[in-house]
Structure 1
Amino acid sequence: MLNKFRALAHHPRSKLVLAYAAGAITALSFAPYSIWPLYLIALAFALHQSASLAPKQAFKYWLSFGFGCFSVGISWVHVSMDVYGGMPLIASIALMALLALYLALYPALAGCLMQRLAPKTSLLRNLLVFPALWTLTEWARGWVLTGFPWLWAGYSQTEGPLKPIASMFGTLGLSFIVAMLAGAIALLAFKRWQSLAIAVPVLAALTFIAPLTSQVTPNGETIKVALVQGNIPQSMKWDPDALWPTMLKYMDLSRPEFSADLIIWPEAAIPAPEYMVKDFLYNANKVANLNDTAIVTGIISNHGDAFYNSLIVLGNYSHKQQSEADYLGDGSNEFKKHHLLPIGEFVPFESLLRPLAPFFNLPMSSFNRGDFTQPNLNAVGHQISPAICYEIAFPEQLRANMNDNTDLLLTVSNDAWFGTSNGPLQHMEIAQMRSVELGRPLVRATNNGVTAVVDEEGNITQQLPQFEAGVLVADIALMKGHTLFTTIGQWPVLILSFLIALAAAIRKKVL
């Protein structure tokens, strides 16, 4: 019976099915499940099972593994297309599957190159070549065609023991380490346990050392922040008749919390161009000033014919107490979203795609792009480094926008597009990693969750329930100083990975 099972497992088609299953299991390593060991086990299984494959076979095998990862891990993508994009369910699932298949090309490329450069199970293949190629292809997935850096292997450690290492080498550095650990586990099948026996204590020591490499310490100040979650139904979000009720709801929720230093409304909390709501903005500006506070809100800003998904500050910029408010509506102290979401905020080949379905003609899907680096927002004398929605997933952008005076990381979002799926929870864990990397507390304000406060070590300290209107008030201890990642970024890991791959290629050619 056991021999028959082994024979079945080695059948080419059975291998592809098992590869898909292993990939699908990795979804349980991310939020909301966070069973991080499963990623290591699944990756180690795939490494072992693909060891004897030719490069073309390995491409198919790892394509199946990747398709399992993404067809399950980002299955929530279809919700926005089905519920809000006007597509039939079968069409939305098909488009989601196409996206998953595209994303699966990256692990497929890593697997194919691995079998070309190091075709036999060895320390070189499992502990160097595979981690290097896995890291390089994850990095490429984060910028090719604007990038989709979701479900990086490193994010499986958001609730795992290796998380502190992200303050040194970033999430991609964790991806390298996770892949290397998986390679060491795969060697156990050949009774080669020494590498794992060495790796575990070394990584334990590195986890202990990581906080010691950080210069981040409390600066002695605290800031009281009120995060407002409006819970506006997505079906009403862009309804012109709902504009004033929406704005008044945010003001009504905020009014009891005007004692806070900073009040934050989520992405596009004011769902209209700035010029259409000037009266409301000037009134909110005066109210914030009179109450010695500032309101940071998402809005559609416009400059000439250009429209941006933006954050503006109402009330007091430089000090908590000022004789006059600072907002003028002239584009100063404003953050414009740089990394736009394809289809949602801009439509590639729009003349071809927009006529096909309502999904390609969503409200506000023609935004202009802000600069990659922009000044921090200034609110009641504090410097705030923001990221709007999707761009929180791009660590180098956050790093480039942080400076010596940055007090707080801020991200705002509207994840109502994705209903009750896992998408918003995965989005939240990505934001947590930015705090670890950059050594700053982070606040996240959303329309319907997850609205939360994260400390400088990436731990959620407070959060609101999803799908309820409410206000989260928190006193946040501010930090100063830099992590190692803030200084060096992810480039050392990428350079190391490239040099390993290059050395393996030269070795293969010479031999």
Structure 2
Amino acid sequence: MKLIFLPLLSAILLTLSSPGLDLWWLSFISFIPVLFSLKDKKYFFTKTLIFSTTYYFFNLFWINSSVSHFGGAPLIIGVLAVFGLSLYMSIYLLLFFYLNLKTDKIVISALVFVVIEILRSKIFTGFPWLNLGLIPYNSQIFTNFYSIFGEYGVSLIIILVNLSLYKVLSQKNTKQLIPTGIVILLLITSNVIKPEIKYNKSLNISIIQPAYKQEEKWLPEKREEIKNLVISMIEIASKSKSDLILLPESVFPFFIQADNLTFSYITESSLKKDLLLGNIRYDQKLNYYNSAFFFSKGSYQYYDKMHLVPFGEYFPLKIITAPISRYFFGDAKDFSRGKVHKVFNSNNINILPLICYESAFYDIIFNAFKDKSPDMLVILSNDSWFGDTLGRVQHLAIDIVRAKEFMRPVIRVTQSGISAYINEKGEIINKIGNNKQDIIEANVNIDSNKRSLFSKYGYLWLGIFALISLIFSVKRERY
């Protein structure tokens, strides 16, 4: 019971706190049971794996929907894919728990945890999914904290409180409450000093969610039906008061470059209203790209997705993964990476386009702010691959955090939900739920002069904090 119960309890608490179930406050105590179980170092790896694989397996089970339901693989293959990724993710938590046993300094342990999360977002192209810092995404208590310290800042305080409370309970030493007190003070301070928002720009938008079935998307006999549906929805949106019409990732199940009638229709429509849509693109060398097309005043620009999804849009280590690629995609070529990020301008509003998975990587947005400050972020996605699972809410949580970090409105445009207009405070102003065919209009207000501290300095504070902590730690060891 000791071997299984405490790690499982931690996994349950962390799951209940995560996006979708949203009891975020439980995250501040969720690590305590597993930390108690690890006081006895016997069966260390077993106890750690019970905690981590249980948590990740349940929360990443949407991958089975992508692999088995939409990918056509047997159920066992989908389950094994989820289990394999859960084991991979568990390696990082194993490393944290192992290093945590090597030090009594909870601040150092908390910093190690954050560094490990950052490594997970970089290694093998990165998978910054289910980070601790995403958990309180819908709590307004953390809104200003995100705009100063970012997602990993929230990860730091969650794990720090867990470690602090564990030390108090296990050592009966109330001095270990000091880090928790500092966290509370920081949260209070960040909510007292609120930036004043003065809107100086606005843009009327129409969000189109066509909500056709993913299973039918690439069937040749469904091509015209889907095409007519999308065009009919553009026709309706064209009659609205909006300045910009938004459509999701790969909205047409064909190359619009090769379909003269569709391409001409969209080009002519852009003489009245700007359009931003996702579609697959090819170049003269027949390289394929997952792209965002921006049509305005009869001409167009495009942005090619830079951060591709491994095993979904390309296969790494082809020598090993070629058989898997052939099983799922036949002779289809991998997508090519875009090289340069772009900012589109619609009615004097700078729009940063992101395609699906890219919104999980804060640095793409941070780097865009260095060149040309975007007024709003538009995320074109096809979350149909998640099925009716927690995956859709997990992606939504990421996009809400991006809005809070950069103090910019975020517009999610998806094939079948969840599409939404999220303001600069991370509040959902309007949305379209799962599998609902709809068009929503919104007036997006923007304060283009106000920038968050995070958008200016990123994680510079983390490096400074780590250096100071290291210096103090060394001094204590000497004296």
Q: Distance in 2 between matches of 1:392 and 1:198?
A: 31
- Name the residue aligned to 1:265: 247
- Name the residue aligned to 1:376: 343
Partner deviation per Cα, 1:307-334 (whole Å, 9 max, x = no partner): 1101011233xxxxxxxx223xxxxx32
Q: In 2, are the aligned partners of 1:229 and 1:447 still within 8 Å (CA)?
A: yes
Partner deviation per Cα, 1:204-229 (whole Å, 9 max, x = no partner): 44334436777673332221111100
Q: Distance in 1 between matches of 2:217 and 2:70?
A: 11
Among 101, 117, 126, the residue aligned to 1:138: 117
Which amino acid in the other structure matches residue 364 of structure 2? Q
- Name the residue aligned to 2:55: 69
Report matched runs for 1:129-208 at 5 Å. Answer: 129-160=108-139, 161-189=141-169, 190-196=171-177, 199-200=180-181, 202-208=182-188
- Name the residue aligned to 1:330: none
Among 31, 40, 63, the residue aligned to 2:19: 31
Report matched runs for 1:111-510 at 5 Å. Answer: 111-116=97-102, 118=103, 122=104, 124=105, 126=106, 128-160=107-139, 161-189=141-169, 190-196=171-177, 199-200=180-181, 202-210=182-190, 217-258=197-238, 259-289=241-271, 291=272, 293-305=273-285, 306-316=287-297, 325-327=298-300, 333-350=301-318, 352-356=320-324, 360-361=328-329, 366-371=334-339, 373-402=340-369, 405-480=373-448, 481-494=450-463, 496-497=465-466, 500=469
Matched positions, count: 472
Q: Distance in 1 between matches of 2:396 and 2:89?
A: 21
Q: In 1, are the aligned partners of 2:168 and 2:176 still within 8 Å (CA)?
A: no
> Relative to 1, partners in 2 of residues 1:468 and 1:367: Cα closer, same or farther, differing over 3 Å?
same
> Relative to 1, partners in 2 of residues 1:79 and 1:393: Cα closer, same or farther, differing over 3 Å?
same
Offset, 1:59: 4.7
What is the RMSD of the two structures over their aligned residues, measured on CA atoms?
2.6
1:48 aligns with 2:70: no
> Which one is further off, 303-312 or 160-169?
160-169
Offset, 1:25: 3.1
Q: In 1, are the aligned partners of 2:248 and 2:414 still within 8 Å (CA)?
A: yes
Partner deviation per Cα, 1:78-127 (whole Å, 9 max, x = no partner): 111111222211221012101100110001101111212x1xxx5x2x3x
Q: Distance in 2 between matches of 1:415 and 1:303?
A: 26
Offset, 1:135: 0.4
Offset, 1:178: 0.6
Partner deviation per Cα, 1:16-39 (whole Å, 9 max, x = no partner): 553244124312212211111222
Unpaired runs of at least 5, structure 2: none
Q: In 2, are the aligned partners of 1:337 and 1:388 still within 8 Å (CA)?
A: yes
Q: Distance in 2 between matches of 1:209 and 1:501?
A: 25
> Relative to 1, partners in 2 of residues 1:357 and 1:309: Cα closer, same or farther, differing over 3 Å?
closer
Q: Distance in 1 between matches of 2:418 and 2:306?
A: 22
Which amino acid in the other structure matches residue 443 of structure 2? D
> Relative to 1, partners in 2 of residues 1:198 and 1:130: Cα closer, same or farther, differing over 3 Å?
closer
Q: TM-score if structure 2 supplies the norm length? A: 0.91
> Which one is further off, 266-275 or 347-356?
347-356
Which amino acid in the other structure matches residue 152 of structure 2? L
SS at match of 2:307: coil
Q: Distance in 2 between matches of 1:409 and 1:216?
A: 21
- Name the residue aligned to 1:321: none
Q: Distance in 1 between matches of 2:153 and 2:391?
A: 23
Offset, 1:281: 1.6
Q: In 1, are the aligned partners of 2:379 and 2:413 still within 8 Å (CA)?
A: yes
Q: Distance in 2 between matches of 1:450 and 1:502?
A: 46
Partner deviation per Cα, 1:476-495 (whole Å, 9 max, x = no partner): 11122210100111243255
Q: Distance in 2 between matches of 1:452 and 1:134?
A: 32
Q: In 1, are the aligned partners of 2:280 and 2:288 still within 8 Å (CA)?
A: yes
Q: Distance in 2 between matches of 1:181 and 1:225?
A: 42
Unpaired runs of at least 5, structure 1: 1-7, 317-324, 328-332
Among 88, 97, 103, the residue aligned to 2:89: 103
SS at match of 1:42: coil
